[in-house]
Structure 1
Amino acid sequence: MTTLPAAAAFAQEVVLGASVQLTGPVANTGRYYRDAYQLAIDKINAAGGVKIGGTAHKLALKLYDNQSDVNLSVRQYTQLVSQDKVNLLLGPFASNFALADSAVSEKYKVPMVQGGGASDQIFSRKFKYIFGTLAPASNYFGSTIDMLKSLKPVPRSVALLYADDAFDVSVAEGTRPMLKKAGFDTVMDERYSTNATDFNSLLSQVKSKNVDVVLVAGHETEILNFVRQAKSLAVAPKLYSFTVGVPSEDFRKALGKDADYAFGMTAWLPSTTLKDRWFGDAQKFADEYKAKFGYDPDYHAASGAADVEAIVQAIETAGSIDPAKVRDALAKSKFDSLYGPIAFSPEGQIDLPQVVIQVQGDKLVEIYGAKGGVNAPKYPMPAWNAR
C-alpha cells in the first residue's frame, strides 16, 4: 500500500486532531466534545467543507481517548502533531488537561482552540497558540454573587468549597475577593482533593456553622456525591450553587427529585436568537444534537462546536492551513456562532456572561443574567424532610 505525501492528502482533507476523555472519571463530560466536534465537522462538510483559496476541502477528525489521564493526553497531542501530522488542534475537557496539552501546541506552534478549560492559568503564560471559548473561571460565580445580593432575606454567611485542580483553584481565587466586596461573611474556605467521594466532614461543618450559602467548585461526580451526602446528613443551607452539573441532563437524571433547588451557571442556553452560519441558530443545533446522540447538549457541547467553527473561519480568513497564518487569523476572529459572539482577548480567551440557572421541579429555569433577574428563584431551600 502506498501512502500519499502529506501535501497531496491536504488537498482532500484538513485534519483536526484532539484527545478527549471517553473513559475514566470525567468521560461523561468528555463525550460532549467528541460528539460536538463530529456534528460540527459533518455539518460543515455537508455545506461544502472549508474553502481555501476558492477550493473546497473536507474536514476530518483524528481523535484519541486520553482515558482521563493527563500524562497520556500530553503524549497523544505530541503524537497528533509530530507523527499523525494533523493540521490544527481541538482541545480536551478540563483545565488541568488544557493547561498541560497547550504546552504541546505552543512547542510545535500549532494552534489549539479548546472549549474545555476555563482556568485563568491557561491564558496567563503569554502563549500564542492557545485559544479558549470558555469564560474565565475566576468569574464563574460573579453573576451568582450579584443575584445573592438581590435575595430576600439576604444571605449573610458563605462557604466556599473547591477541588484542588487548576479550574477550581482559579474559581476560588476569583470568588474570594468578589464575596468580600459584596459584603458577605466567608465562614468556610476549604479545598478538597479532586475526585473526592467523602464530603461528610465539610458538610458537618456547614451544618454546625449554620451556613446560609454554599458555593462548590468541582466536577460532576464530586457534585453528585456532595448532594447525596447533604441529603443523608440532612444538611440544607438556604442555597447551594455548583460550577458544573446543573446544566447537564444526566446530572439531573442521576439525582432525580434531589436535584431540585440546586443553582448552577451556564454561558449558553439553546436559543433562536443566537444566529449561526452553519446550523442557522443555537436551537437548531440543540435539536440536531439531540436527534443524533440521544441526549441534550449543554454549554460544553456548544463550546466544542464553536471551536470547530472558529478554526474553519480562521482558515478561510487566512486562505491557508499554515499554522502561523491560522493563528494570526484566530487572534483577530470576530463572528457569531451557535455559542455566542466569538472574539478572543489578547491572552486568547473569550468572555461570555454566566447565566444563573436553577432546577425547579422537572425544569431548568433561567434565574439571573447580565441584565439582572429573569425568573423568580426558589429560595430559601427547604429542609430535606420538608420537600
Structure 2
Amino acid sequence: MSKIVRRTFTAGAAASVLSLGLPAAAQQQTVKIGVIYPLSGNAASAGTHAKIAAELGADLINNGNPELAKLLPLAKGGGLPGLKGAKIELVIADNQGTPAAGQNQTLRLITQEKVAAVMGSYQSGITQTASAVAEKYGIPFLTPESTAADLTERGFKWFFRTTPIATNFAKAYSDFLKEQKAAGQKTDKIAIVYENTEYGKSTFTAIADLFAKEGHTVGLQVPYSANSTDVQPQVLQLKEKNPDVVIFISYTSDAILYAKTMKELNWKPAILMADDAGFNDAAFVKAMGSQVEGLISRSAFAPGKPGSIAAICDELYKKKSGGDGLDDGSARGLQGFLVLADAINRAGSTDPAKIREALVATDMGPEQMVAGYNGVKFDSKGQNTLGSSLIIQMRNGQYVPVWPKAKATAELILPYKGWPQ
C-alpha cells in the first residue's frame, strides 16, 4: 500500500492563506490528524498495532479499496469528498506509556503540528492527561479503546469515546457467570487481580460494584504495580485462597508474566477470565497462546463472514501488519479512526468546532461497523451508547467467540485447561 506523504504547513503560510478568506477545503491539501499511542514501554505491541490500524484507515480513504468501497463510501479513495478530496496526513506520536509523555506529545501535536483532531491513547491514565490538553485548546479528542469509566465524567466538551466501557464489560461478565452457575459451574469464590493505574483501578471498581449488586461475591482483590517484574507473591496468594473464578485486568508484559508464573507454580482456577487489554494483545497470544488453553476474555471484534466489512478489513490489516490480523484493540482503533474521519468529512472543514459538531451528530448503524458494535451514537458526555462486547475463548492458540450464543462460533469449554499436561 502507498505510504502517506507528510507535508509541512508553516505558521506564516497558514496566516497568508487565512487572510485570503478561502474556505477550509481550499486552504490545505491535507488534513492532519494526531495519533498518539505507546510505541515504546510495556504496551508497545498494542500501541504499534493501533498505529497500523490508523494507517490502514488513512490508506483506505486516501487510496481506496474497490471491495470495501461497496460497503463504506469513504473507502472509494481520492481523499475526503467533503473537503474536495483533501488527503489525510497522520502525525504519529509516541506517548512512551507514561501520562507525562502523553501530555507533552499532545501539546506538541496541537501547538506545533496544528492537527485538526487527536485520537489515542490506549492506556486510560494517558488518555486522561492527553485529552485534558486537547480540552484546554478546544481540539476534538477521540479515544477508540480507553475504558476507564470516569473519562466521560469530567464535563469535557471535546472528548469522545467509541468503545464500550468498564460498566458494560462488568455487566457482560456478570451475565456470563450467572449462566455458568446455572449450568453447574462453581462461581462462588471470585478474585480480581488488577494493575494499579487508572485503567486497572477504575475497571476493578466497576466490576466489583456491579457484582455486589448482582449477587456475586468478590472475596479476594489483588492489586499490583504495573510493570512488575515478579508476581510470584500474588500468584501464591491466589493459590492459597484457590478461588473458582479469577479476573485479570493487566497490560501485556504483566499478562505474560502472570501466565508464566501460574504455570511455574502449577496453579489454575476453574474459570480464568481477562479484561481484554494485555491478554488480547498479539504479543501475548504469540508468546502464551498455547499455554492458556481455555482462557476467557472479552472482545468487540470477530472477523465475521467473508465479504463483510470486518472480514475485508481483517485481510487488509494482515497485509499491512505483515501477518497479524485485527484483534480487539486494533479493530477498535480502526473503528475509532473511521468515525473520526467520517465526522471530519461531514464537517467539510478542519475547523475544530465544526468537527466537534459533526461528532456530536454522529449516527452510524451496525452495517457500517468494523468492530462488533450496534453502531456509534454519542451521548451528552461523549460516550458511544451503542457499543457492545462478546466473550471469547482461547482455542489452539487463537481466540474464538463463545458467548452470547447468538454471536458464538464455538462451544464454551470449561474448566480452564491451561498449559499442556
TM-score by length of structure 1 reads: 0.91
Question: Partner of 1:135 in structure 2?
Answer: 164
Could you report, residue by residue, the CA deviation over 1:112-160 in whole angstroms, capped at 9, with x for unpaired residues? Answer: 1121311112111010111112211233243222122222223210001
Q: Give the aligned partner of residue 22 of structure 2.
A: none
Distance 1:164 1:321, change over 3 A: same
Mapped pair 1:380 → 2:388: no
Q: Which residue is 1:40 aligned to? A: 57
What's 1:240 paired with? 272
Question: Aligned in 2, Cα 1:318/1:378: closer, same or farther, shift over 3 Å?
Answer: same
Q: CA deviation at 1:39?
A: 0.9
AA partner of residue 293 (structure 2): D
What CA distance in whole angstroms lies between the structure 2 residues aligned with 1:94 and 1:373? 28
State the distance in 2 between where 1:374 and 1:178 align: 28
Determine if the alignment matches structure 1 residue 285 to structure 2 residue 285: no
Q: Deviations over 1:293-314 (max 9, x none)?
A: 1212212212222222222221
SS in 1 for 2:81: strand
- 8 Å Cα contact 1:223-1:242 kept in structure 2: no
CA contact (8 A) 1:90 1:308 kept: yes
Q: Which residue of 2 aligns with 1:31?
A: 48
The farther-off stretch of 36-45 and 140-149 is 140-149
Change (3 A) 1:310 1:25: same
Matched, 1:17 2:34: yes
Are the equivalent residues in 1 in contact too, given 2:274–2:297 (CA < 8 A)?
yes
Structure-2 separation of matches of 1:357 and 1:28: 20
Aligned amino acid, residue 59 of structure 1: I
* Alignment-derived partner of residue 391 in structure 2: 356
- Structure 2 counterpart SS, 1:378: coil
- Counterpart of 1:261 in structure 2: which amino acid? G
Query: How far 1:343 sits from its partner (Å)?
Result: 1.4
Aligned twin of 1:342: 376
Partner of 1:109: 138
> Is the 2:295–2:394 contact (alpha carbons within 8 Å) kept by the matching residues of 1?
yes
Change (3 A) 1:12 1:292: same
Q: Report the secondary structure of 1:140's partner residue.
A: helix
User: How far apart are 1:356 and its partner, in Å?
Assistant: 0.8
Question: Which of 198, 201, 213 in structure 1 is aligned with 2:233?
Answer: 201
Whether contact under 8 Å (1:18, 1:91) holds in the other structure is: yes
Match of 2:14 among 6, 12, 16: 6
Whole-angstrom CA distance in 1 between matches of 2:150 and 2:130? 13
Aligned amino acid, residue 26 of structure 1: A
Residue 353 of structure 1 and its aligned partner are, at CA, apart by 2.0
What's the CA shift for 1:274?
Answer: 9.5
In structure 2, what residue type is equivalent to 1:45? Answer: N
SS for the counterpart of 1:190 is strand
What aligned pairs does 1:320-339 form with structure 2 within 5 A after superposition? 320-335=349-364, 336-339=368-371
Shift of residue 347, structure 1, vs aligned partner: 1.1
How far has the Cα of 1:358 moved from its partner? 0.8
1:71, distance to aligned residue in structure 2 (A): 1.0
1:201-241 per-position Cα deviation (integer Å, ceiling 9, x unaligned): 22222222221000111112111111111111111110111
SS at match of 1:5: helix
List runs of 5+ in structure 2 lacking aligned partners.
Answer: 1-7, 18-25, 64-76
Aligned to 1:251: 284
Q: Deviation at 1:371? A: 5.2
- Report the Cα offset of residue 90 of structure 1: 1.7
User: Unaligned regions of 5+ residues in structure 1, if any?
Assistant: 276-280
1:187 matched residue in structure 2? 219
Q: Tell me the alpha carbon deviations over residues 149-195 of structure 1, each in whole angstroms, 9 at most, x when there is no partner.
A: 22222321000111111111121111113322333332202221111
Q: How many residues align?
A: 380
TM-aligned CA distance change 1:302 to 1:374, over 3 Å: closer
1:365 is aligned with what amino acid?
Answer: V
Superposition deviation, residue 242 in structure 1: 1.0
Quote the offset at 1:74 in angstroms. Answer: 1.0
Distance 1:370 1:181, change over 3 A: farther
Cα 1:5/1:106, change in 2 over 3 Å: same
C-alpha deviation, 1:366, in angstroms = 1.0
Q: State the partner residue of 1:270.
A: 303
Instruction: Answer yes or no: is the 8 Å Cα contact 1:33–1:92 preserved in 2.
Output: no
Range moving further from structure 2, 314-323 or 326-335: 314-323
User: More deviation in 340-349 or 217-226?
Assistant: 340-349
1:80-107 CA-partner distances (Å, limit 9, x unpaired): 1112212221222210111000001100
Separation (CA, whole Å) in 2 of partners of 1:25 and 1:141 = 25
Aligned counterpart for 1:366 among listed residues 401, 405, 409: 401
Contact 1:162 1:216 in 2 (8 A): yes
Counterpart code for 2:350 = I
Residue number in structure 2 paired with 1:278: none
Amino acid at match of 1:298: D
Q: How much has 1:290 moved relative to structure 2?
A: 0.3
- Among candidates 81, 86, 92, match of residue 51 of structure 1: 81
Higher strand content, 1 or 2: 1
Question: Is the Cα–Cα contact under 8 Å of residues 166 and 207 in structure 2 kept in the other structure?
Answer: no
Contact 1:80–1:86 (8 Å) recurs in 2: yes
Name the SS of the counterpart of 1:60 in structure 2.
strand
Letter in 2 for 1:90: M
Report SS of the residue matched to 1:84: coil
Higher mean displacement: 254-263 or 211-220: 254-263
Q: Secondary structure at the match of 2:259?
A: helix
Give the equivalent residue in structure 1 for 2:148: 119
Greater CA deviation, 192-201 or 28-37?
A: 192-201
Tell me if the contact between 2:62 and 2:87 (Cα under 8 Å) persists in the aligned partners.
Answer: yes
Q: Give the alignment's TM-score, normalised by structure 2.
A: 0.84
Contact 1:354 1:369 in 2 (8 A): no
